[in-house]
Structure 1
Amino acid sequence: MRSGIIGVVAALFVVGAPVAYAQQSPSSPGNAPESGQLSQTDFKMLTDIRVGVIKAALQLTPEQEKLWPAVEEAIRARADMRYRRLASLRERMGQARDIDPVQFYRQRADVLADRAASLRKLADAWQPLYQSLTSDQKARLRLVAIHAIEGLRAAVENRGMAMDDEDDIDSWDLPY
Protein backbone atom coordinates (compact mmCIF):
# COMPACT_ATOMS: atom_id res chain seq x y z
CA MET A 1 0.00 0.00 0.00
CA ARG A 2 2.84 2.39 0.87
CA SER A 3 4.46 1.91 -2.55
CA GLY A 4 1.08 2.60 -4.12
CA ILE A 5 0.78 5.90 -2.32
CA ILE A 6 4.34 6.83 -3.25
CA GLY A 7 3.56 5.95 -6.87
CA VAL A 8 0.45 8.11 -6.91
CA VAL A 9 2.27 11.05 -5.32
CA ALA A 10 5.07 10.71 -7.87
CA ALA A 11 2.48 10.51 -10.64
CA LEU A 12 0.84 13.73 -9.43
CA PHE A 13 4.17 15.54 -9.59
CA VAL A 14 4.70 14.28 -13.12
CA VAL A 15 1.15 15.29 -14.12
CA GLY A 16 1.90 18.79 -12.83
CA ALA A 17 4.93 19.13 -15.11
CA PRO A 18 2.95 19.26 -18.39
CA VAL A 19 0.50 21.75 -16.89
CA ALA A 20 3.33 23.99 -15.71
CA TYR A 21 5.00 23.67 -19.10
CA ALA A 22 1.77 24.59 -20.89
CA GLN A 23 1.32 27.64 -18.66
CA GLN A 24 4.70 29.15 -19.53
CA SER A 25 4.60 32.51 -21.19
CA PRO A 26 5.22 32.65 -24.94
CA SER A 27 8.70 34.06 -24.38
CA SER A 28 9.69 31.20 -22.05
CA PRO A 29 12.44 28.88 -23.21
CA GLY A 30 11.21 25.60 -24.62
CA ASN A 31 8.16 26.98 -26.36
CA ALA A 32 7.88 27.18 -30.10
CA PRO A 33 9.46 30.39 -31.39
CA GLU A 34 7.31 33.49 -31.67
CA SER A 35 3.94 31.72 -31.39
CA GLY A 36 4.05 30.56 -27.78
CA GLN A 37 2.58 27.25 -28.94
CA LEU A 38 3.96 23.79 -28.32
CA SER A 39 5.69 22.09 -31.21
CA GLN A 40 4.39 18.72 -32.36
CA THR A 41 7.42 17.07 -30.71
CA ASP A 42 6.69 18.82 -27.40
CA PHE A 43 3.02 17.89 -27.67
CA LYS A 44 3.92 14.22 -28.22
CA MET A 45 6.32 14.35 -25.28
CA LEU A 46 3.55 15.64 -23.03
CA THR A 47 1.25 12.88 -24.30
CA ASP A 48 3.95 10.32 -23.47
CA ILE A 49 4.14 11.76 -19.96
CA ARG A 50 0.37 11.65 -19.51
CA VAL A 51 0.19 8.04 -20.72
CA GLY A 52 3.07 7.09 -18.43
CA VAL A 53 1.49 8.76 -15.42
CA ILE A 54 -1.82 7.00 -15.93
CA LYS A 55 -0.18 3.63 -16.41
CA ALA A 56 2.12 4.12 -13.40
CA ALA A 57 -0.77 5.19 -11.19
CA LEU A 58 -2.82 2.13 -12.18
CA GLN A 59 -0.07 -0.41 -11.45
CA LEU A 60 -1.65 -2.88 -13.86
CA THR A 61 -1.60 -6.62 -13.33
CA PRO A 62 -0.32 -8.86 -16.14
CA GLU A 63 -3.93 -9.61 -17.17
CA GLN A 64 -4.79 -5.90 -17.21
CA GLU A 65 -1.64 -5.15 -19.22
CA LYS A 66 -3.23 -7.04 -22.12
CA LEU A 67 -6.08 -4.49 -22.18
CA TRP A 68 -3.79 -1.45 -21.98
CA PRO A 69 -2.67 -1.10 -25.65
CA ALA A 70 -6.19 -0.23 -26.84
CA VAL A 71 -6.48 2.47 -24.18
CA GLU A 72 -3.06 3.90 -24.96
CA GLU A 73 -3.82 3.94 -28.69
CA ALA A 74 -7.11 5.78 -28.09
CA ILE A 75 -5.39 8.33 -25.81
CA ARG A 76 -2.69 8.96 -28.40
CA ALA A 77 -5.25 9.23 -31.23
CA ARG A 78 -7.20 11.87 -29.29
CA ALA A 79 -4.01 13.77 -28.49
CA ASP A 80 -2.98 13.72 -32.15
CA MET A 81 -6.44 14.91 -33.16
CA ARG A 82 -6.23 17.69 -30.57
CA TYR A 83 -2.85 18.83 -31.90
CA ARG A 84 -4.14 18.89 -35.50
CA ARG A 85 -7.28 20.77 -34.41
CA LEU A 86 -5.24 23.40 -32.58
CA ALA A 87 -2.82 23.77 -35.49
CA SER A 88 -5.76 24.23 -37.86
CA LEU A 89 -7.28 26.81 -35.53
CA ARG A 90 -3.99 28.75 -35.36
CA GLU A 91 -3.83 28.71 -39.14
CA ARG A 92 -7.41 29.97 -39.51
CA MET A 93 -6.83 32.69 -36.91
CA GLY A 94 -3.96 34.02 -39.01
CA GLN A 95 -6.10 34.26 -42.15
CA ALA A 96 -8.36 37.06 -43.28
CA ARG A 97 -11.41 37.87 -41.18
CA ASP A 98 -13.97 37.38 -43.97
CA ILE A 99 -16.06 34.73 -42.18
CA ASP A 100 -19.12 33.03 -43.62
CA PRO A 101 -21.30 32.31 -40.56
CA VAL A 102 -23.02 29.31 -42.16
CA GLN A 103 -19.69 27.76 -43.15
CA PHE A 104 -18.36 28.48 -39.67
CA TYR A 105 -21.29 26.58 -38.09
CA ARG A 106 -20.81 23.64 -40.45
CA GLN A 107 -17.09 23.46 -39.72
CA ARG A 108 -17.77 23.67 -36.00
CA ALA A 109 -20.34 20.86 -36.27
CA ASP A 110 -17.81 18.69 -38.11
CA VAL A 111 -15.18 19.33 -35.45
CA LEU A 112 -17.62 18.48 -32.66
CA ALA A 113 -18.72 15.30 -34.45
CA ASP A 114 -15.08 14.22 -34.83
CA ARG A 115 -14.41 14.94 -31.17
CA ALA A 116 -17.50 13.00 -30.13
CA ALA A 117 -16.45 10.00 -32.22
CA SER A 118 -12.95 10.04 -30.76
CA LEU A 119 -14.30 10.34 -27.22
CA ARG A 120 -16.60 7.37 -27.86
CA LYS A 121 -13.58 5.34 -29.08
CA LEU A 122 -11.72 6.29 -25.91
CA ALA A 123 -14.65 5.22 -23.73
CA ASP A 124 -14.95 1.95 -25.65
CA ALA A 125 -11.22 1.29 -25.19
CA TRP A 126 -11.35 2.07 -21.47
CA GLN A 127 -14.45 0.01 -20.66
CA PRO A 128 -12.89 -3.49 -20.50
CA LEU A 129 -9.85 -2.25 -18.59
CA TYR A 130 -11.89 -0.12 -16.20
CA GLN A 131 -14.15 -3.08 -15.39
CA SER A 132 -11.08 -5.12 -14.45
CA LEU A 133 -9.63 -2.49 -12.09
CA THR A 134 -9.67 -2.98 -8.34
CA SER A 135 -11.24 -0.35 -6.11
CA ASP A 136 -7.72 0.91 -5.23
CA GLN A 137 -6.82 1.28 -8.92
CA LYS A 138 -10.08 3.10 -9.61
CA ALA A 139 -9.37 5.47 -6.71
CA ARG A 140 -5.87 6.19 -8.07
CA LEU A 141 -7.29 6.77 -11.55
CA ARG A 142 -9.85 9.22 -10.13
CA LEU A 143 -7.10 11.02 -8.22
CA VAL A 144 -4.97 11.43 -11.35
CA ALA A 145 -8.00 12.49 -13.41
CA ILE A 146 -9.10 15.09 -10.84
CA HIS A 147 -5.58 16.52 -10.63
CA ALA A 148 -5.33 16.66 -14.43
CA ILE A 149 -8.71 18.38 -14.73
CA GLU A 150 -7.76 20.96 -12.09
CA GLY A 151 -4.46 21.58 -13.87
CA LEU A 152 -6.25 21.97 -17.19
CA ARG A 153 -8.74 24.39 -15.66
CA ALA A 154 -5.87 26.47 -14.26
CA ALA A 155 -4.09 26.46 -17.63
CA VAL A 156 -7.27 27.61 -19.40
CA GLU A 157 -7.80 30.36 -16.83
CA ASN A 158 -4.19 31.52 -17.18
CA ARG A 159 -4.47 31.47 -20.97
CA GLY A 160 -7.71 33.46 -20.73
CA MET A 161 -6.10 36.06 -18.49
CA ALA A 162 -3.16 36.36 -20.88
CA MET A 163 -5.55 36.83 -23.79
CA ASP A 164 -7.44 39.54 -21.89
CA ASP A 165 -4.19 41.46 -21.66
CA GLU A 166 -3.71 41.49 -25.41
CA ASP A 167 -5.09 44.39 -27.42
CA ASP A 168 -6.06 42.26 -30.41
CA ILE A 169 -8.73 40.35 -28.47
CA ASP A 170 -11.37 42.62 -29.97
CA SER A 171 -10.51 41.33 -33.43
CA TRP A 172 -11.89 37.92 -32.49
CA ASP A 173 -15.46 38.89 -33.39
CA LEU A 174 -16.89 35.57 -34.51
CA PRO A 175 -20.53 35.18 -35.54
CA TYR A 176 -21.80 32.93 -32.76
Structure 2
Amino acid sequence: MKKALVILASTLAMSGAFAQTAAPASAPAAASAAAGKHERNVEDRIAYLHSQLKITPAQEPQWNAFADVMRSNGETMGALFKQRQDAGAQSALDDMKQYATIAQAHADGMKKLVDAFEPLYSSLSPDQKKLADQTFHQGPHNGGKKHGKAPQ
Protein backbone atom coordinates (compact mmCIF):
# COMPACT_ATOMS: atom_id res chain seq x y z
CA MET A 1 0.00 0.00 0.00
CA LYS A 2 2.77 2.43 0.95
CA LYS A 3 4.62 1.64 -2.28
CA ALA A 4 1.44 2.29 -4.30
CA LEU A 5 0.99 5.67 -2.64
CA VAL A 6 4.62 6.60 -3.31
CA ILE A 7 4.24 5.61 -6.97
CA LEU A 8 0.99 7.56 -7.30
CA ALA A 9 2.49 10.62 -5.63
CA SER A 10 5.57 10.41 -7.87
CA THR A 11 3.40 10.05 -10.96
CA LEU A 12 1.39 13.12 -10.09
CA ALA A 13 4.52 15.06 -9.19
CA MET A 14 5.95 14.29 -12.62
CA SER A 15 2.83 15.74 -14.20
CA GLY A 16 3.85 19.11 -12.77
CA ALA A 17 4.52 20.42 -16.25
CA PHE A 18 0.81 19.94 -16.87
CA ALA A 19 -0.42 21.27 -13.55
CA GLN A 20 -2.16 24.61 -13.51
CA THR A 21 -1.15 27.27 -11.02
CA ALA A 22 -3.79 27.80 -8.37
CA ALA A 23 -5.96 30.89 -8.74
CA PRO A 24 -8.99 31.91 -6.70
CA ALA A 25 -12.29 31.22 -8.47
CA SER A 26 -13.35 34.77 -7.68
CA ALA A 27 -10.45 36.22 -9.63
CA PRO A 28 -11.01 35.65 -13.38
CA ALA A 29 -7.97 37.74 -14.31
CA ALA A 30 -5.76 35.61 -12.05
CA ALA A 31 -7.28 32.44 -13.49
CA SER A 32 -6.62 33.69 -17.01
CA ALA A 33 -3.01 34.50 -16.08
CA ALA A 34 -2.61 31.03 -14.55
CA ALA A 35 -4.01 29.42 -17.70
CA GLY A 36 -1.56 31.45 -19.78
CA LYS A 37 1.33 30.37 -17.57
CA HIS A 38 0.22 26.74 -17.83
CA GLU A 39 0.15 26.95 -21.63
CA ARG A 40 3.59 28.60 -21.65
CA ASN A 41 4.96 25.78 -19.46
CA VAL A 42 3.72 23.17 -21.93
CA GLU A 43 5.02 25.16 -24.90
CA ASP A 44 8.35 25.72 -23.13
CA ARG A 45 8.67 21.97 -22.57
CA ILE A 46 7.86 21.29 -26.23
CA ALA A 47 10.44 23.85 -27.40
CA TYR A 48 13.03 22.48 -24.97
CA LEU A 49 12.58 18.91 -26.20
CA HIS A 50 12.57 19.97 -29.86
CA SER A 51 15.89 21.71 -29.35
CA GLN A 52 17.36 19.05 -27.07
CA LEU A 53 16.55 16.22 -29.48
CA LYS A 54 17.78 18.20 -32.50
CA ILE A 55 14.64 17.43 -34.52
CA THR A 56 15.29 17.58 -38.26
CA PRO A 57 12.86 18.84 -40.92
CA ALA A 58 12.27 15.23 -42.02
CA GLN A 59 11.21 14.34 -38.45
CA GLU A 60 8.75 17.25 -38.11
CA PRO A 61 5.60 15.20 -38.91
CA GLN A 62 6.37 12.69 -36.14
CA TRP A 63 7.44 15.53 -33.84
CA ASN A 64 4.24 17.48 -34.47
CA ALA A 65 2.10 14.45 -33.61
CA PHE A 66 4.04 14.04 -30.35
CA ALA A 67 3.82 17.76 -29.51
CA ASP A 68 0.06 17.76 -30.19
CA VAL A 69 -0.39 14.93 -27.66
CA MET A 70 1.65 16.91 -25.13
CA ARG A 71 -0.65 19.90 -25.68
CA SER A 72 -3.79 17.78 -25.40
CA ASN A 73 -2.53 16.11 -22.23
CA GLY A 74 -1.68 19.53 -20.83
CA GLU A 75 -5.19 20.79 -21.51
CA THR A 76 -6.74 17.71 -19.91
CA MET A 77 -4.59 17.86 -16.80
CA GLY A 78 -5.00 21.62 -16.51
CA ALA A 79 -8.79 21.26 -16.61
CA LEU A 80 -8.73 18.48 -14.00
CA PHE A 81 -6.49 20.45 -11.65
CA LYS A 82 -8.74 23.48 -12.10
CA GLN A 83 -11.79 21.37 -11.23
CA ARG A 84 -9.95 20.16 -8.14
CA GLN A 85 -9.05 23.72 -7.18
CA ASP A 86 -12.59 24.98 -7.78
CA ALA A 87 -14.16 22.12 -5.78
CA GLY A 88 -13.18 23.70 -2.48
CA ALA A 89 -13.82 21.75 0.69
CA GLN A 90 -15.07 18.26 0.03
CA SER A 91 -15.29 14.94 1.81
CA ALA A 92 -12.30 12.65 2.04
CA LEU A 93 -14.09 10.18 -0.24
CA ASP A 94 -14.78 12.84 -2.89
CA ASP A 95 -11.18 14.04 -2.60
CA MET A 96 -9.87 10.52 -3.18
CA LYS A 97 -12.22 10.01 -6.15
CA GLN A 98 -11.04 13.23 -7.72
CA TYR A 99 -7.41 12.25 -7.11
CA ALA A 100 -8.11 8.86 -8.76
CA THR A 101 -9.61 10.65 -11.78
CA ILE A 102 -6.48 12.77 -12.12
CA ALA A 103 -4.22 9.73 -11.76
CA GLN A 104 -6.22 7.81 -14.40
CA ALA A 105 -6.13 10.78 -16.79
CA HIS A 106 -2.37 10.97 -16.28
CA ALA A 107 -1.97 7.27 -17.02
CA ASP A 108 -4.17 7.55 -20.12
CA GLY A 109 -2.23 10.60 -21.25
CA MET A 110 1.10 8.83 -20.79
CA LYS A 111 -0.14 5.93 -22.93
CA LYS A 112 -1.06 8.39 -25.69
CA LEU A 113 2.31 10.09 -25.30
CA VAL A 114 4.17 6.78 -25.59
CA ASP A 115 2.14 5.86 -28.67
CA ALA A 116 3.02 9.22 -30.28
CA PHE A 117 6.67 9.05 -29.21
CA GLU A 118 7.35 5.58 -30.63
CA PRO A 119 7.33 6.61 -34.33
CA LEU A 120 9.33 9.72 -33.50
CA TYR A 121 11.91 7.71 -31.55
CA SER A 122 12.14 5.22 -34.42
CA SER A 123 12.93 8.09 -36.80
CA LEU A 124 15.77 9.42 -34.64
CA SER A 125 19.41 8.91 -35.55
CA PRO A 126 21.56 6.93 -33.09
CA ASP A 127 22.95 10.20 -31.71
CA GLN A 128 19.45 11.63 -31.29
CA LYS A 129 18.31 8.43 -29.56
CA LYS A 130 21.20 8.80 -27.14
CA LEU A 131 20.11 12.39 -26.45
CA ALA A 132 16.51 11.26 -25.99
CA ASP A 133 17.56 8.45 -23.64
CA GLN A 134 19.60 10.88 -21.54
CA THR A 135 16.96 13.62 -21.58
CA PHE A 136 14.06 11.40 -20.59
CA HIS A 137 16.11 9.48 -18.03
CA GLN A 138 16.75 12.62 -15.99
CA GLY A 139 14.65 12.91 -12.87
CA PRO A 140 12.16 15.71 -12.27
CA HIS A 141 13.76 19.13 -11.92
CA ASN A 142 12.43 22.65 -11.56
CA GLY A 143 9.07 21.87 -9.98
CA GLY A 144 8.38 18.61 -11.76
CA LYS A 145 9.68 19.54 -15.19
CA LYS A 146 12.42 17.37 -16.56
CA HIS A 147 14.53 20.32 -17.71
CA GLY A 148 17.94 19.29 -16.55
CA LYS A 149 21.38 20.04 -17.79
CA ALA A 150 21.94 19.18 -21.39
CA PRO A 151 23.59 15.77 -21.73
CA GLN A 152 27.30 16.01 -22.40
Is this a same-fold pair by TM over 0.5? yes
Relative to the length of structure 2, the TM-score reads 0.63
Measure the CA separation in 2 of the matches of 1:134 and 1:149.
25
TM superposition shift of 1:48: 1.2
Instruction: Give the counterpart of 1:122 among 102, 113, 126.
Output: 113
Are 2:39 and 1:41 aligned?
A: no
> Which structure has the larger Rg over C-alpha atoms?
1
The TM-score normalised by the length of structure 1 is 0.56
Are 1:91 and 2:82 matched, yes or no?
no
Q: Which residue of the partner structure matches residue 111 of structure 1?
A: 102
User: How many equivalent residue pairs?
Assistant: 120
Which of 64, 80, 102 matches 2:75?
80
Shift of 1:105: 4.0
Runs of 4+ in 1 over 4 A off after TM superposition: none
For residues 43 and 106 of structure 1, what CA distance do their matches in structure 2 show?
Answer: 24
Identity of aligned residues (%): 22
Q: Which amino acid aligns with 2:108?
A: A
Deviations 1:94-119 (A, max 9, x none): x234x152x44443333322222111
Aligned-pair distance for 1:151? 2.7
CA distance in 1, matches of 2:144, 2:53: 23
* Correspondence 1:1-176 to 2 at 5 A: 39-92=34-87, 95-97=88-90, 99=91, 101=93, 103-146=94-137, 149-152=140-143
Moved more, 141-150 or 58-67: 141-150
CA RMSD of aligned residues (A): 3.1
Q: Distance in 2 between matches of 1:151 and 1:78?
A: 20
Q: Would the alpha carbon gap of residues 107 and 131 (structure 1) be closer, same or farther in structure 2, given more than 3 Å must change?
A: same
Q: How has the CA–CA distance of structure 1 residues 66 and 120 changed in structure 2, closer, same or farther, with 3 Å as cutoff? A: same
Structure 1: tracts of 5 or more residues without a match: 1-18, 20-31, 155-176
Distance in 1 separating the partners of 2:89 and 2:95: 14
